[in-house]
């Protein structure tokens, strides 16, 4: 069986690595891939982008299943095009992907279907947005309505931060470099930048990811990531500096509440609205001190870096599961998990998250392990291979992931595997997993 994984980040490397472990796989293509996928003989990078070119490739190569990694192709309608051509693909349609591609759509959907979330208002007018902040006060959360490559959320602790975020996202005021956002067109065809302003919620965040086939749902192992750049959860927000699985904050009671109050109502609501949901569904949660979950946001794909520890713990054949999900036959499928803890540490480029540097040589990397039972694996994200040399090519460069009988053991193994790796200006947190060690 030939499989195509769309994307080139750490999430896609981890998915391709796990899918390639299936005995049913003949070849896993990764488009466009990265330096890590280029170094694994079971994988083949294909330098193509754009939904039409991807569909042409899948048709020509007789690909049996395509798995979509990042959000941009989903928002561009890659699933709709593949299905129209009779090609099997796993992911939500363009309409269903609005759960991620439009914060305003997502919040309105949650309010309409009674899904617990933060209070919010949506603004296209900067003056009205500024007035709302002045009236409401801080802390407050400002979100760009659209895809912003993980940079579209600001948790403002001061009025100045909130007002600056509004101007940055709407391209108004004195902001010299407006945030680049892929906005959805309004019903009249106009593209109007908008911001969603939410109340600040207290609690502990967790990532809750499920696989859905339009009718059935299968929860994956829970996980928790570290958004802040520096130790002690300080510094600017990033796409994620590390993650571990499972998340202690998601107790069996919280798990049941999330499924009953958030996940199932979301899938039922999408079906009721005429846009049944197939694909990975990622609910970013805030869980308060009483164990009550609220949905912060939805993503229509696996998280990064949550994917890396999750696939390390997955013992089931991921290819089989995804084929069932794409075919609408997920009912009755069960997943088997390694009982150990998995923990991943992200190594980022100099200047990340604001202005990451590219082109630095990476040394000390171990060979990419094809062993699905390996206790430590280095997953690549922002890397490229040029003339046999691996170079940095993005903000988050690597995610060194390890298994252990406890959080401390997994943590120790990950940092030991990380120690020989070096590139100029590299940065990483030294406390990934600290919340889990305290919880245990």
For 395-440, how does the pLDDT look when each residue is reduced to its tens digit (9 = 90+)?
Answer: 999 999 999 999 999 999 999 999 999 999 999 999 999 988 876 5
Helix (H) or strand (E) holding 99: helix 98-101
Q: In what order do the strands lie in the sheet with 396-404?
A: 224-225, 242-245, 341-348, 396-404, 376-380
Helix (H) or strand (E) holding 186: none
Spatial neighbors of 108 by CB under 8 A, at least 6 apart, are none
User: Mind listing the pLDDT tens digit for each residue in 119-150?
Assistant: 999 999 999 999 999 999 999 999 999 887 66
Q: What percent of the chain has pLDDT over 90?
A: 87
**For residue 349, is pLDDT > 60?**
yes
**For residue 112, is pLDDT > 80?**
yes
Please provide the distance, in angstroms rounded to a whole number, between the alpha carbons at the two ends of the chain: 42
Per-residue model confidence (pLDDT) at position 61 = 98
User: Mind listing the pLDDT tens digit for each residue in 34-93?
Assistant: 999 999 999 999 999 899 999 999 999 999 999 999 999 999 999 999 999 999 999 999
Nearest to 218 by CA among 169, 166, 266, 263: 263
Res. 389 pLDDT band, cuts 50 70 90: very high
**For residue 187, is pLDDT > 60?**
no
**Residue at token pair 């296209």:** 124
Coil, strand or helix: which one is 339? coil
The two structure tokens encoding residue 46: 């294909």
């Amino acid at each position: 069986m030939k499989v195509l994984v769309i994307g080139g980040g750490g999430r896609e490397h981890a998915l391709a690595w796990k899918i390639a472990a299936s005995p049913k796989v003949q070849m896993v293509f990764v488009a466009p891939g990265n330096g890590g996928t280029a170094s694994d003989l079971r994988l083949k990078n294909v330098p193509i982008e754009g939904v039409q070119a991807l569909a042409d490739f899948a048709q020509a190569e007789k690909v049996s299943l395509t798995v979509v990694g990042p959000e941009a192709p989903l928002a561009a309608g890659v699933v709709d095009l593949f299905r129209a051509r009779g090609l099997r693909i796993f992911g939500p349609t363009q309409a269903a992907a609005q759960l991620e591609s439009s914060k305003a759509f997502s919040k309105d959907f949650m309010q309409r279907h009674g899904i617990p979330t933060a209070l919010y208002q949506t603004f296209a007018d900067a003056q009205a947005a500024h007035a709302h902040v002045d009236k409401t006060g801080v802390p407050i959360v400002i979100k760009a309505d659209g895809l912003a490559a993980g940079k579209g959320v600001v948790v403002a602790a001061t009025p100045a931060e909130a007002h600056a975020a509004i101007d940055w996202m709407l391209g108004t005021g004195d902001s010299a470099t407006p945030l680049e956002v892929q906005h959805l067109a309004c019903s009249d065809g106009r593209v109007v930048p908008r911001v969603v302003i939410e109340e600040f919620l207290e609690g502990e965040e967790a990532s809750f990811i499920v696989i859905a086939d339009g009718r059935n749902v299968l929860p994956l192992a829970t996980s928790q990531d570290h958004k802040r750049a520096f130790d002690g959860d300080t510094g600017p927000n990033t796409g994620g500096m590390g993650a571990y699985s499972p998340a202690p904050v998601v107790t069996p009671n919280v798990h049941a509440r999330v499924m009953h109050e958030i996940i199932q109502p979301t899938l039922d609501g999408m079906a009721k609205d005429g846009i049944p949901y197939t694909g990975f569904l990622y609910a970013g949660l805030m869980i308060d001190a009483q164990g009550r979950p609220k949905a912060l946001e939805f993503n229509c794909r696996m998280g990064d870096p949550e994917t890396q520890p999750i696939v390390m713990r997955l013992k089931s054949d991921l290819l089989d599961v995804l084929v069932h999900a794409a075919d609408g036959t997920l009912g009755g499928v069960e997943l088997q998990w390694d009982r150990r803890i998995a923990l991943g540490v992200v190594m980022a480029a100099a200047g990340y998250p604001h202005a990451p540097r590219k082109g630095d040589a990476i040394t000390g990397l171990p060979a990419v392990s094809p062993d699905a039972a390996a206790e430590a694996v280095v997953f690549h994200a922002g890397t490229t291979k040029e003339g046999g040399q691996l170079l940095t090519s993005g903000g988050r460069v690597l995610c060194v992931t390890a298994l252990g009988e406890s959080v401390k053991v997994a943590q120790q193994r990950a940092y030991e595997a990380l120690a020989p790796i070096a590139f100029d200006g590299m940065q990483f947190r030294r406390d990934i997993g600290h919340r889990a060690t305290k919880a245990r």
